[in-house]
Structure 1
């Protein structure tokens, strides 16, 4: 199968987004110009050019933009061409005041949305060039009076085109907001485990420590280590190791409360802040996690035995900073490992780790 038949053409979605405001704007803009031409003697070729520009050109622009390697650059050129033709029709109408003002304002709106103030100046140059082309072809005329029929013919353009541009800008702003939220999520999430990454989790730890210090609140901090993870990587390979980390991350998320803040501290080590939980409360939660991990049916490596060592430190107002809190949990984790792994240790108020009972 030809890959090009499956993959979308470069710029196809961009070209489609640009098509609708152009097609709608030119469709209603037709009546502004046609109302002026109708009340004057106008050559058939001008009518044909107007119809072609308003109803055929948007389709041509869409197809050309879809085939372009740079749809954004191509679209900027097309907007300048729209400005040139707008200037051309203004001169053809002999600068009839209301239709000309409507066209100028709508073109300025398009140019601003496309490239900002600088692009508006480029659009003005294109409009002047279009006026010059009209004068060279048809001669100069100046008839600024606007009839009532011409005024009514401008109303669709005044209503529909700004609404269309507004909807396009709203959709772009909404998409930008969605992208920013996705990027923010990516910047604080560990891609493998789905938990908070270390940098963002450290910020949460600092905030919770400051909250407890300020309000005298209660919270517990846990460090969670996968026992003998290096052996898993050496025996089963890094693909199996990564899948194990992913499943452990899911288990941690599943066992903790919605207000808890779990993260991946690095390598095979995880971490969690449990607001409002005393050390024994945290132990009960993490003991369920430890048992679930021990019973985890890891289909990619059926013989793989998994266990966790966990250190817990409850917040104590005598701790100077969040780093001291983290060190207390680390000491408790070290004690759990020293006692044979696959167990939980709780740091006492004197920061001497005490081994918590292990459910057999």
Structure 2
């Protein structure tokens, strides 16, 4: 291979470029990104960056000049021609490749037919974070639609900034549903103790406006919440529209890969991170896991496999891990929680507070979630890794 093109300028794209050079690839590496920023760390957007304890520059990943990457930023990929082996960009430029890495990630899911009012925000990029931070003050009435990780982290950060009116709405009965009801119920208590109001098991029926900006959020149960700032934390959608017509197989919008991160039906295209679906050994089907650690590790495996002969490619199998900082609580998880059917509290100290919850599929331990128990989650991670190795 003489030129490898990486499409996607996030964590996975950054790690892919590093891994290619580490593996000894001496050809050209071109990284295409739709944002004007070089790759940066996204987890701080809802926490340290929003809180003001970290600057935008501090979120940027450092790339050595020795990596010799050609940066093509501020240009989205709009199509892929596999026969000619070229990626076409929004300005009409065609970028040829011998090997292609797809790391385009995901974008914030939008609200259908959102009214043309000021005050609506999403949080997925540096520019999103800057705009949201500028819009919020201590007197803002903020409603967060979506009680997932982003919604809960932002709620905690806003309360830390002194924003007095913060409400969270979700159709689910408890926040962060993938962590189970036991964790969800304790998360409600944690947030309510810090002044956040939850409106759960209900949906948004519409938005009110006054003077050209949002003034309220109407709920399906008849209640109405005053709001001058609304954060739409509705999950994400894969950035794969540019692959339409390419012949690549997609699963719920994600690039379908084999266990080596190679796009199904190809030999010189790999995918990694939030945009890739692959057969995790414990899932029983291809899945897409939107975790920071997955993007980091999968990108390295995908890059190495792109350079390797088909018979020498390594399988990607790992224990998913996740963390979230909310108030004084560091939440961490290990394992494939999405396939769990039962969660059990095995340890709790409400004063600290600390918590250990185990996740099961039938009688099989499939994962764990902890509050402020770092050593415990490390132990679970090692046990689950051993269990995974035995299953392969």
Q: Which TM-score applies when normalising by structure 1?
A: 0.21
Q: Which TM-score applies when normalising by structure 2?
A: 0.19
The structure where strand makes up a greater share of residues is 2
The structure where helix makes up a greater share of residues is 1
| Bigger Rg, structure 1 or 2 | 1
